[in-house]
Amino acid sequence: MPRRRRRFADLERQFRESGGTAAPGSRLAGYIDFKKGINTIEVTKKLTANERKRYGFAIIPFGTTPEDSTPTRYAAPITAYSNAGRNGLNLTDAKLGYAPITGGTEQSENFYPAVLRIFKKTSDTKTTPISGVTKKKYSRTAGVTFSIPFGRTVTSVKDAKTDATESVLDKVDAEDVRRSLSVFAKTQTGVASISYEPEVFRVGKPDLVSPPGT
């Protein structure tokens, strides 16, 4: 099951508080028609089949306690489109905590990595199209959005005695990495805004039985 998006969180809140009713011609009325399937969103940027192809990187989650210097990594999905976008923004594997997926990588459908959604302008010209959801005008700047997962980061250091290089897990949390990535991304040409979805571990469907003697 995909992670629930909160794209229309404010309108959804208004919908619940109003009991599903709204003044005719209001933004909420348009949203209610959208929920009914009357209003529809027109997708202006349609990805190709190759751009939609999903790949993955192995990351160390923030919600688990690393057991040693080689903690279990989890597979984090990314589309070819967003992967090309993050490379264009100079968000390297090291910055994002990426490693190649191997046989030891945990592939869990109940793990949702922390994600940055980065909007990059392709023009400074603002337009006022009609929303397919609310049927009201809104201000829009042309651009593209990349969804980029990330995890704990690792630093390579040299042992002072042996001169051997070893990997050391950075003692950082999700907010530290999110802030660092956001500060860096905003230095890249065209980046206008960044949003964030936190990491989520969901409990899988339980396979319950009654205890003995019942």
H/E/C letters for each residue in the chain? CCCCCCCCHHHHHHHHHHCCCCCCCCHHHHHHHHHHCCCCCCCCCCCCHHHHCEEEEEECCCCCCCCCCCCCCEEEEEEHHHHHHHHHCCCCHHHHCCECCCCCCECCCCEECEEEEEEEEEEEEEECCECCCCCCECCEEEEEEEEEEECCCEEEEECCCCCCEEEEECCCCHHHHHHHHHHHHCCCCCEEEEEEECCEECCCCCCCCCCCCC
Residue pLDDT, tens place only, 161-188: 554 454 566 667 899 999 999 999 999 9
- Check whether 65 has a pLDDT greater than 80: no
Above 50 in pLDDT, residue 1? no
What is the tens place of the pLDDT at every residue in 121-157?
988 888 777 777 777 777 778 899 999 999 998 775 4
C-beta of residue 190 within 8 angstroms of C-beta of residue 141: no
